Every structure is written in C-alpha cells, then in structure tokens.
Amino acid sequence: MASAYYNHTDRVDPDSHRLTLSVPDPGGRAMWNSVIAAGYAQARPDWGISRRNGDGVLLQFIVRGEGWVRTQNKSFNAQAGDLIFLDCTSPYAMGVKAAKPWAVYHVNFDGLAAPYWVEQFACHSNPIFRPANPGRLRQQFERILRLVSQGLPGYEAQASAIIHAIAADLWVEHAKKNLALPAAIRDRIEKIPPQAREAIERIVRDVFKITSDLNTLDSGLDTFALAKRAGMGRTQMYKIFRKYVGMPPIAYAREYSIQQAQHLLISTNLPLKEIGARIGIDDANYFSRLFHRKVGMGPRQYRQKKSPTA
C-alpha cells in the first residue's frame, strides 16, 4: 500500500489488529488530518499503558467493557459508548477494568488542526465524551478502518473528512452541554438583587440551551413553544431575554448559530453546504449571505483567513 504522503512502507501488526502508518510528511499534514494508526482491539484483562509523550491525537470509541484514563494527574472512568479524545503529545496513561476489559475502535491522527481541537474541547480537563449518536460514530470508525486497510487512491483525504465530521459532531454536542453565559450577561446578572439572581440566571440559561438545541433558522423559531419550554409567558420571556441578553431570542439564535458555523469552518474541512445544514440553514447561498452580513466576509474567505492551516 503506497502513498505519496507517507515516507515509509505501511505495516499491519496482527497482534493488536492495528494498522500502523509512518508519520506523514509536511505536505500531508498541511492538507488534512493524517492517520498514524487505526484499528479495532479486544484488550486483555491486565492491559494498560503509560506514555510520557507520543504522536498526535487519539480518538478511541469503547464498544463494550470499561476502563480508565489518566492525564494532567486526573483520572477518569470510561465505559461502553464513551469516546476518548486524548492529546498524545502530553503524558497520559490508560487501562481496563479487569472484570470488564474494553473492546475499542481507535484512530490516532495528526494534523495542524489537531491542537486547536484539543484546546476547544478542553481535552486536558476531561478527555471523555458521550456521543449523542454512538451508532453513527461506530460506522464512522469502521469506515476509516476500511479506507486505511484497503489503501485505495484518495483514502487519506476520505479518512480525514470522516475525522473532521466526528470532530464537528463532537463540537456541536460539546457546545450544547457546556453553554456558558457571555461575560457581559454575567456582569448584568451580578447586579441583580441576590434574592432574584438565581431565578433570573436559571431562566436565561434555560432559554440559551433551548435556543441552541433548536437549530431551525431556515424555518423560524416557534417563540410560543420556546417560552413554554422555559416555563414562562412569551411576553415575559422577551422582556427577560432582551434585558439580560441584549437581543430577542430569534436574534440570539441567529448569532449563536453563526458562532457555531465559525468554529466548524476553522476546525473542520466540511463543505459549506453541510455546515449550513448543521446550523439549520439548508440553502447554501442564504447561509453565505447571512454569514457575510454577520461576520463581514463570506464563509469561504473566513475559513481561508482563520484556519490553523492557513
């Protein structure tokens, strides 16, 4: 299996069912995520490793069983259905629970966007994620393994696109679960009398999360349903949202979705049409116009200017 983007012959390690590839040259790293190793493995009950440093980033999806990961002097338990997103360039250790050793899909990759993802997903704080669609994730890993093992022309770019898609899905879920109020809104809430502050903050956070979950910019938001889910009347919701967020819910949904699009443009190679669809805009031309109006440049220009590979 030959490739212009790898310096040596690839090899298969039958003991670990692991396809190991040589480190890509600079041209390959600049163009896409380069797969260093990929495989599927059933661990022994006594399996464990400790590394001071390594290459790239490890994506590991646990199909069954349990284990643990230690990084930055913190330990985390992992179980079936979890995705481990680990920076291998920093010291780490991992192992299995002897009673339930895990079976995993794993992809080790490198690329200029990898450090950006590690930072955005706060992998050093917690490398364990719970994917919203484990069935889709398993299919993505299986597809990467097939591509790499077959080694057909263009497999590097196809595998890279799947890794980008995994990162994009992870980013959207991570953003929804880790919504934080912007500093300006926190400052406004801090000025509210203590007896009312907790209730107001809860309402604003609820509306933030509801808005981020909807992603229906193309068809419009049902503000009556939005208010009902937030536990208040529509007029009351508008007043509170305007007072503490500075804009009505629909305007915020648009701003939030454009922020999501900015992250996806920087951290993935997904086509513009797919990024638009992920934030609820199926019309690629409308997405480009809206993005330009909000950001001051088109999505293609934004990607070229802001991408880590630029």
pLDDT at 214 exceeding the cut of 70: no
- Residues 243, 132, single domain; the answer is no
In a domain, 282, yes or no: yes
- Crossing angle (nearest 10°) for helices 234-245 and 249-267: 50
- Chain segment 262-302, per-residue pLDDT in tens: 888 887 778 898 888 877 788 889 889 989 988 999 999 99
C-alpha 220/C-alpha 262 separation (Å) is 21
Give me the pLDDT at residue 308, please: 57
CATH code for the domain of 292: 1.10.10.60
- Residues 171, 185, single domain; the answer is no
Cβ neighbour number for residue 187 with a 10 Å cutoff: 10
Given 177, 199, 233, the domain boundary residue is 177
Give me the pLDDT at residue 99, please: 94
The count of domains in the chain is 2
In a domain, 171, yes or no: yes
- Residues 134, 223, single domain; the answer is no
Given 177, 198, 220, the domain boundary residue is 177
- Residues 125, 19, single domain; the answer is yes
Give me the pLDDT at residue 9, please: 31
Cα angle value 125/127/129 (rounded, 5°): 120
In a domain, 86, yes or no: yes
Least confident of 69-73, 85-89, 260-264, 306-310: 306-310
- Residues 90, 154, single domain; the answer is yes
Name the residue with tokens 């116009």: 289
pLDDT band at 206 (very low <50, low <70, confident <90, very high): low
Q: If you average pLDDT over every residue of the chain, what do you get?
A: 77
- Residues 163, 62, single domain; the answer is yes
Length of the chain: 310
Given 177, 196, 231, the domain boundary residue is 177
- Residues 102, 169, single domain; the answer is yes
- Residues 114, 186, single domain; the answer is no
CATH code for the domain of 38: 2.60.120.280
Range(s) of the domain holding residue 137: 11-177
Who wins on pLDDT, 101 or 24?
101
- Residues 130, 187, single domain; the answer is no
In a domain, 156, yes or no: yes
In a domain, 5, yes or no: no
- Residues 189, 165, single domain; the answer is no
- Residues 94, 34, single domain; the answer is yes
In a domain, 167, yes or no: yes
Cα angle value 167/118/15 (rounded, 5°): 75
In a domain, 139, yes or no: yes
- Residues 26, 128, single domain; the answer is yes
In a domain, 18, yes or no: yes
Give me the pLDDT at residue 210, please: 59
